[in-house]
Structure 1
């Protein structure tokens, strides 16, 4: 009888531990690149979250005896923590989308195939996001993500809550970093657009009767596509380096 009670207590503690790990992992996976995309069915995302839970749970410390209020409090903290760690990676995808939007606007390609993605974005943004996620998956994103989730418990143990002021500072720092990354990735297109418009203005000044917009439109379109073809490998390499940096130090801007 005592053995049965001990076994029941042990199973209950293990189930509670798995639940707490699942709350953090599930919240994070819902925002992760590749694993949390809108195009994936909800059941696939749930399965991915369960698999990562089984991988991460043995590497995390267990919980003692908790009452109902403690379970609710710790569960809410775990969901918030999972969203923070998931958002740190999701912002990198938004950086690629922003870079694609800037590049498309600069090269007059923003309306070509603009609705082909689950989230409305120009064709350049869709190509960059799909290529970046594919590159990350090919280079072992699933392994990196598992390590990332395990590392999150070393940074913020179960039940830890980030102070609101620190979380605000961290969020502002991450958003600023992502915008800087997006502008850096799109800078060749912005520079090319500036040179093109300056040249177009000079030609128009010299030959007012020439419809320079119609003459120059094919050049900026071809130039934008050429820059995408030639610069995409370097852009994706820089983005992947930023992804690895975030995976190794997700709370780098946290005070």
Structure 2
């Protein structure tokens, strides 16, 4: 029987304790990370991604200074999961912004019922298209690398084992939610403007020719305009969204 020296056992215990402490924050963030934390991704794949991110992040993080006792472990588990979920929710709100922008665009251009019941979540086809394209673009731009850097830098903002103050965390959360809805409306602005022009023109035509069924004439026009705006504006919409996402990754607490 092979026996390990006590010094080696001590080092192994410290290393495993370090990996476990890092894994807590990483797994909470990966479960909400865009592209990696989607509901369509199996739980085993998410667990594997969390383990891979842990192996990348752990060497850059100083081991926790707390002793591995029951009380310190409970405090560490709660703190690290809270920080990981808060940062993950900040990233997840950008996916929600794309979905909201697609819903606003679809409602404005009368395309909200296209493929309405074919999907898992009740999101219009425009929202699914923009979300899928945004996730693919973020991965192509190196989201996994930026996410690893984001996790490493998060320990500078939120040291291991120290919970953020509740007023600061709530104020930061409200700011991120307001920013998400502001970004969603900004991305859907061309569709809202087109809808406003369409409805004004429809009202003028209806007043000029009351006997004309303007709804039957205008419905194909607004549908074509919505599809054309989606085709022409999707690259700009996705580039603005990607810039906002990576700006948050570089500075998650900035205004």
User: TM class, shorter-chain normalised?
Assistant: over 0.9
Give the conservation status (yes or no) of the 8 Å contact 2:99–2:130: yes
Please state whether the residue corresponding to 2:152 is helix, strand or coil.
helix
Give the conservation status (yes or no) of the 8 Å contact 2:17–2:68: no
2: distance between equivalents of 1:23 and 1:201?
Answer: 58
Give the conservation status (yes or no) of the 8 Å contact 1:101–1:125: yes
2: distance between equivalents of 1:243 and 1:57?
Answer: 24
Please state whether the residue corresponding to 2:218 is helix, strand or coil.
helix
The answer for the alignment partner of 2:26 in structure 1 is 25
The answer for the alignment partner of 1:6 in structure 2 is 7
1: distance between equivalents of 2:121 and 2:19?
Answer: 33
Shift of the alpha carbon at 1:49? 0.4
Shift of the alpha carbon at 1:13? 1.2
Question: Is 1:96 aligned to residue 135 of structure 2?
Answer: no
Deviation track 1:88-124 (CA, whole Å, cap 9, x = no partner) reads 1100000000000000000000010134444320000
Aligned length: 252
Give the conservation status (yes or no) of the 8 Å contact 1:36–1:45: yes
1: distance between equivalents of 2:40 and 2:23?
Answer: 22
State the Cα RMSD in Å: 1.3
Shift of the alpha carbon at 1:66? 2.9
The answer for the alignment partner of 1:71 in structure 2 is 73
Shift of the alpha carbon at 1:58? 0.5
Question: Is 1:60 aligned to residue 82 of structure 2?
Answer: no
Question: Is 1:158 aligned to residue 133 of structure 2?
Answer: no
Give the conservation status (yes or no) of the 8 Å contact 2:21–2:64: no
2: distance between equivalents of 1:120 and 1:141?
Answer: 27
Shift of the alpha carbon at 1:205? 0.6
1: distance between equivalents of 2:28 and 2:194?
Answer: 41
1: distance between equivalents of 2:119 and 2:180?
Answer: 21
Shift of the alpha carbon at 1:250? 1.1
1: distance between equivalents of 2:116 and 2:145?
Answer: 33
Please state whether the residue corresponding to 2:62 is helix, strand or coil.
coil
TM-score, normalised on structure 1? Answer: 0.96
What runs of 5+ residues in structure 1 fail to find an aligned partner? none
What runs of 5+ residues in structure 2 fail to find an aligned partner? none
